[in-house]
Structure formats: C-alpha cells, structure tokens
C-alpha cells in the first residue's frame, strides 16, 4: 500500500517533468505531444494532449509508456489503412454520412485529466471510429479518423471522471504526421540537446 501511495504522489511531479517533442492540430487548435526523459533503462512516457469532449475538464489526454508504443503505432497504422480504404469506397459510392467503428484495438494505456487538480486513469482502452460528415453551410464532405480515449475515471476517486478525449484527423497527411511523433529518435534528440546544454555549466 505504501508503494502505491508513493507512486501516486510522484505522478503529478512526473506530469510536469516532460518536454514537448512535437505538436498537432485538432479542430483548429494546436495540441502538445510530450515525453519524459528516458531513465537508466531507456524507458519513458509519452503524453498526447487531446480535445476534451467534457466541458468541465480543462485538459488531458493519453499517457503511453515506451513499452506500449510499438503496439500503439501498429494499431494506428491499421486504422490509417482502413481510413484510406473506406475513404476511397465512400468517394466512389457518393457516401456523405457515416459513423463506423474501426476494428483495430490499441493496447490499454494510461490517461490523465484535470479539473482543479490532476487525475489519472491507468487502464483505458482507446478505440477508433471512421466518420463522414457533410457541412450544411458549404456542402463540403469531410472524412475523419477519430481516436477516442473512452470515458475516464480517477484512480484515487471513482466519483471523479471525465468524458472521452478525442483525436480527430481529416486527411492521410494529418494521420501520418501524428504517427511520426511516436519515433523514439525524437525523444533521444530532445533530451540529448537538453543534456548537452546542461553539460556546459558543470557544478
């Protein structure tokens, strides 16, 4: 029990120790993609901020440990391929309204969210949807790959929860740009630069 409490106390500190390694756009706003510094075993955690569908929650998103990244990227690529396939089919058949689950399951990961304090859910099961919508104003048809965290529940208080965070991508380029952020080299380069600067000023 003592070890669990220690971990819970350290998590808020870890949340503020990560560095930005990239960004992406969701619904016209920029969101951060961050990573913690790799430890002596080379392990680190990625933090991907998402769009909050819960109007009360200020911010949050997915926490993905380095050991889960490969499986997560595999699922992203599977979803991307389905996006390409279904978009082609939709255009060929003039489909302009659709909501369909994509059967490519990411591994279970963690998530974080904030009201006035930070809260964590260490066992979330993200999922994908493919969405086609037509604008009533312009008539433009949009093809979207959406990644949802699923509803979140605080690990330390079951009565504190949040609606799903959303990652919505409207082109193949946007999807591939997001996937590219999972490259471990970005993490290594970021912290090598940081450490090299710090080495200039020795104690």
Structure confidence by residue, pLDDT tens digits, 56-65: 887 999 999 9
104, part of any domain: yes
Q: Which two tokens stand for residue 106?
A: 């990411």
**Residue 106 pLDDT exceeds 80:** yes
pLDDT band at 199 (very low <50, low <70, confident <90, very high): low
66, part of any domain: yes
Give the pLDDT score at 2. 40
The residue with greater pLDDT, 12 or 29, is 29
Give the number of other Cβ atoms within 10 Å of residue 88's Cβ: 11
Give the number of other Cβ atoms within 10 Å of residue 110's Cβ: 20
Q: Which two tokens stand for residue 165?
A: 């965070």
Q: How many domains, in total, are found in the chain? A: 1
**Residue 118 pLDDT exceeds 60:** yes
Give the pLDDT score at 196. 62
Give the pLDDT score at 10. 45
200, part of any domain: no
203, part of any domain: no
Cα angle: 44, vertex 48, 52; to 5 degrees:
145
| Nearest residue to 21 (alpha-carbon basis) of 174, 200, 184 | 184
140, part of any domain: yes
| Nearest residue to 127 (alpha-carbon basis) of 114, 109, 153, 154 | 109
Query: Which residues constitute the domain of residue 172?
Result: 2-188
């Amino acid at each position: 029990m003592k070890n669990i409490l220690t971990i819970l106390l350290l998590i808020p500190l870890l949340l503020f120790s990560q560095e930005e390694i990239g960004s992406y756009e969701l619904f016209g706003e920029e969101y951060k993609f961050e990573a913690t510094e790799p430890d002596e075993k080379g392990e680190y955690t990625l933090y991907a901020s998402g769009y909050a569908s819960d109007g009360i929650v200020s911010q949050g998103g997915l926490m993905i440990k380095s050991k889960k990244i490969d499986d997560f990227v595999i699922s992203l690529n599977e979803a991307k391929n389905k996006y390409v396939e279904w978009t082609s089919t939709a255009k060929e058949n003039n489909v302009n309204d659709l909501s369909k689950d994509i059967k490519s399951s990411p591994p279970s990961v963690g998530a974080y969210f904030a009201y006035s304090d930070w809260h964590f859910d260490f066992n979330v099961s993200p999922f994908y949807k493919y969405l086609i919508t037509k604008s009533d104003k312009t008539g433009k048809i949009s093809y979207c790959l959406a990644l949802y965290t699923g509803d979140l529940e605080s690990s330390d208080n079951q009565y504190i929860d949040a609606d799903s965070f959303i990652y919505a991508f409207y082109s193949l380029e946007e999807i591939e740009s997001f996937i590219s952020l999972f490259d471990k080299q970005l993490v290594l380069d970021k912290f090598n630069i940081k450490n090299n600067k710090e080495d200039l000023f020795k104690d």
